[in-house]
Amino acid sequence: GDDLQNIVIKKGQVIKYDIKYGGEPEPEVVWQLNGVEIKDDNDKITIDKYERNTVVTVRRAVRADSGKYKLILTNSSGVCEGIAEVVVLDKPSKPVGPLEPIEVRANHITVQWTKPDDNGGSDITGYVIEKMDMDTGRWVPAGEVGPKSPGTFKLEGLTPKKKYKVRVKAVNKEGESDPLETDQAIVAKNPYDEPGRPGKPDIIDYDNKSVTLKWKKPENDGGRPILHYIIEAKDKFSMDWEEVAKTDDNNPEGKVEGLKEKMVYQFRVKAVNKAGASEPSDPTDNHICKHRNLKPRIDRDGMKSVTIKAGRTHKWTVDVSGEPPPTLTWIWRDGIALITTDRIKIENVDYQTNFTIVNATRRDTGKYTLVAENANGKDTESLELTVLAKPSRPEGPLEVSNITKNGCKLAWKKPTDDGGTPVKEYEVEKMDLATGKWVRVGKVPGDRDNPEMVITGLEPGAEYKFRVTAINDEGDSEPLETERAIVAKNPYDEPTKPGTPIVVDYDHESVKLKWDKPDSDGGAPIEKYIIEKKDKFKPDWEPAIEVPADQLSAKVPGLKEQAEYQFRIIAVNKAGPSPASDPSKMHLVKHKALKPRIDRTNLKNIVVRAGKMVKYDVNIRGEPPPEVTWFLVDKPTDVVIGQVKSEGNVEIINVPYNTKI
């Protein structure tokens, strides 16, 4: 019996006892398991008998093969027994049911079970619980608990009103048992219901950041008291409702803070009891988050002064804040309230006005004022409209003065309306009545306060009309025309020629002239004298200077020294220049008084042979021309020997400004 020992094996392994024995006569051998004889089936179980040796083998052991193995030896002399304990380790059997819920709520279920009948040969280490949402048909882990029996587990996080099945597996070190499953699906619901829907909320107060809501309680509280209310909101850009506030108690009134000004919202309410939240109430109508009482305020960004061209259409869109919505009025010039006409369109809606001027004309230029007013105050703002057009025609009369045979002078006044943009210039035209055609004669800058123009190039004796047009960036005005034609002729003649000029003084770069006035001024006062000069070696006369009419003498500067000039005088009156005077005598430009100075260039010491000629040619300056005298001087002593005269072998030739010896 020494070899009959207790053994522990895993499921699937082999149980084998090989036992030797003795006895006379040879004993009869019997193997028992838990008091039941073991039979040889030539497959799983075999019992082999040898001489005084027995071998029992149990293959593919299972949990049922566990127990007390007994060997009984019997002969005529007696009985001998040996016993050993065999444990086959396996997973536990499934827990003992039924698996029943002991608590059911909308978001959790608690179930209970008892330990398995067979722990599989080793201690139960715990239980694994799984759940199945009947909508999905999939088992998913729900949690684990320890080996305590009876075992309980709370499945949390369930979706209210969904059906669930639950199963439990026992666990030992060999693995998990088959599951024990609930007989029927369990509905996750409270033994009481959620409240009914609250009434549609009313907005009883608001400002630019919040609203205060009030509603009716649900008609049915679901069997449990209402704990509080949830307020949800949705702006116009959102598809989903969001919880924005929760009441402290079951009072059906609440305030929502933190709203965005000018955003459009809807609100709804849910009642909450122990079972959960009710279905939401009907939503409120759209509500603009705004002040309830607010002084009007015009948005200045829309009140822009503009400049447009005539014929164009312009529209102003101006936003206005204020609560209640202000009344809006447009006023023009002297307090005239504007209304919609063919050319003025005014469209007022809450918080905005659209003001349109169609096909604008120059007379629409001016100041327009918007007045916004409600019970809380008043606001005004103005804008300037400038309509650009052609100028009005220049103001008359178109005066013609200073008429001569070749020209005249025109004068007129600026237009009363420059068309909204400065007059750039005036265009002046003339018409010879003999041709009947208008011809442009010139332009005058538009910035002159008293515009005028001197006309030249008229044909003596011809009849003329004149007209003036104002021009700005938008175009040409209507012309201002002379009322009657004028004849190009002088009311007076040119002066007669002045007296011949006389040189009364001079120096090396100028002369002073004197002359007599003309015998006749031609009927109009002499305005000035023109002095002309002519170089001896040039063919043409050229202007020198001009002097006022009250001067009959003048200094002519800028002359070239040693040049020879003639001068003449021309008198000028309104009719034009007189014939030139007779020319003066030829005048050499030189100093009138100048200390003598000898040009020493040619005065050099020379040595010559007797019989040769000596010649000096010496220039001399000085005014009047100096008198020249030659002297002979003793060189060693510088003593004058005597005056040298032109005689004998000496020839002296003196001319003004030069001497030759």
Mean pLDDT of 383-402: 92
Note whether 325 and 312 are same-domain residues.
Answer: yes
Backbone angles phi, psi at 36, to 5 degrees: -110, 130
CA angle 532, 535, 536 (to 5 degrees): 130
Q: Of 388, 414, 442, which residue is a domain's last?
A: 388
All residues at 6 or more sequence positions from 2 whose CB lies less than 8 Å from its CB, including other chains: none
Do 183 and 207 belong to one domain? no
Say if residue 399 is in the same domain as residue 331.
no
The answer to whether position 174 is within a domain reads yes
- Residue-level pLDDT at 262: 87
Give the list of residues 6+ apart from residue 635 with CB closer than 8 angstroms, or none: none
pLDDT for 451 equals 94
* pTM for the full predicted model: 0.41
pLDDT tens-digit readout, 73-128 = 999 889 988 899 999 888 898 999 898 899 888 889 999 999 998 888 888 999 99
Residue 1, domain member (yes or no): no
Asked if pLDDT for residue 545 goes beyond 50, the answer is yes
How far apart are the C-alpha atoms of 359 and 556, rounded to whole Å?
68
**Residue linked to tokens 């003649």:** 493
618 shares a domain with 580: no
Question: Does some domain include residue 105?
Answer: yes
Considering the domain architecture, whether residues 268 and 303 belong to the same structural domain is answered as no
Do 49 and 61 reside in the same domain of the chain?
yes
Nearest of 487, 410, 418 to residue 442 by alpha carbon: 410
Give the residue-averaged pLDDT of 453-467.
94
Per-residue confidence at 314, pLDDT binned at 50, 70, 90?
very high
Helix, strand, or coil (residue 403): coil
Domain shared by 327 and 380, yes or no: yes
In a domain, 497, yes or no: no
Pair 474, 400 in one domain: yes
pLDDT for res 444: 94
Q: Is the dihedral of CA 639, 642, 644, 647 positive or negative?
A: negative
Show which of 555, 589, 623 is a domain's final residue: 589
Q: Based on the domain organization, do 303 and 328 belong to the same domain?
A: yes
How many domains are there within the chain? Answer: 7
CB 372 within 8 A of CB 322: yes
CATH of the domain at 128: 2.60.40.10
Do 327 and 307 fall within a single domain?
Answer: yes
On whether residue 496 sits in a domain, the answer given is no
Average pLDDT of the segment spanning 354-383: 93
Residue 258 pLDDT > 60: yes
Kindly state whether residues 328 and 373 are assigned to the same domain: yes
Whether residue 493 is contained in a domain is answered as no
Burial class (CB in 10 A: 0-12, 13-18, 19+), 416: exposed
Residue 2: pLDDT band by 50, 70, 90 thresholds? low
Last residue of one domain, picked from the residues 166, 188, 210 = 188
Note the pLDDT tens digit of each residue in 270-285: 999 988 899 999 999 9
How much is the average pLDDT of 433-451? 93
Instruction: Answer whether residue 196 is part of any domain.
Output: no
Residue 1 pLDDT > 60, yes or no?
Answer: no
Asked whether residue 158 carries a pLDDT value surpassing 60, the answer given is yes
Q: Show the domain range for 375.
A: 294-388
> In this structure, are 246 and 260 located in the same domain?
yes
Q: 412: closest CA among 485, 482, 339?
A: 482
Q: Is residue 193 part of a domain?
A: no
